[in-house]
Amino acid sequence: MKGIFYALAILFSVNKSSAQALSPVQWSYTAKKIADKTYEIHLAATIQTSWHLYSQTQPADAIVEPTEIKFNKNPLVIFSGYAKEVGKIELFKDEKLKISANQYSNKVDFVQVVKLKANVKTSVVGSVVFQTCDDKKCLPPKKIDFTVALN
């Protein structure tokens, strides 16, 4: 009886760890100086083939979780507007379910312009919450923290 219990425990732990290992999106975070005290923060997503990452803005009939970018407050930084999406947006439509979604394949770059209040070195810290789906399944939303140095 103990042998069966241990075998089942190992089986469930292997299945759980392989499900957690599924990460169809890889993120990179960089800053590009574009003017005196002005930077672009780039949150670049590389998306595996057949997977999709969802836009920050979705149609009213969408049932997916839109990508959400949050920046922590920093008294040395002024955020200019919202993060812009640079990539080829696709409109997914399912006529049978009567739903649609704005999504990206392959890659998308979220770009936020920031200005420093003074000539100082600091960092922009925040998080991105995103959901990915392929043709068969959707993964639950995932939160990733990031830090980008401004030099």
pLDDT tens-digit readout, 79-98:
999 999 999 999 999 888 78
Which of 101, 98, 74, 77 is CA-nearest to residue 89? Answer: 101
**Average pLDDT over every residue of 28-37:** 97
Cα dihedral sign for 20, 21, 25, 30?
positive
For position 4, what pLDDT does the model report?
A: 34
The mean of the pLDDT values for the chain is 88
**Average pLDDT over every residue of 53-66:** 94
Q: Which residue ranges form the domains of the chain, and what is each CATH number? A: 23-150 (2.60.40)
Judge residue 71's burial from the number of C-beta atoms within 10 Å of its C-beta, 0-12 exposed, 13-18 middle, 19 or more buried.
middle
For position 94, what pLDDT does the model report?
A: 85
Do the Cβ atoms of 108 and 47 come closer than 8 Å? Answer: yes
Of all residues in the chain, the percent with pLDDT exceeding 70 is: 86
pLDDT class for 21, splitting at 50, 70, 90? Answer: low
Indicate the pTM of the whole model: 0.83
What is the layout of strands, in order, in the sheet containing 89-94? 89-94, 99-104, 52-54, 132-133
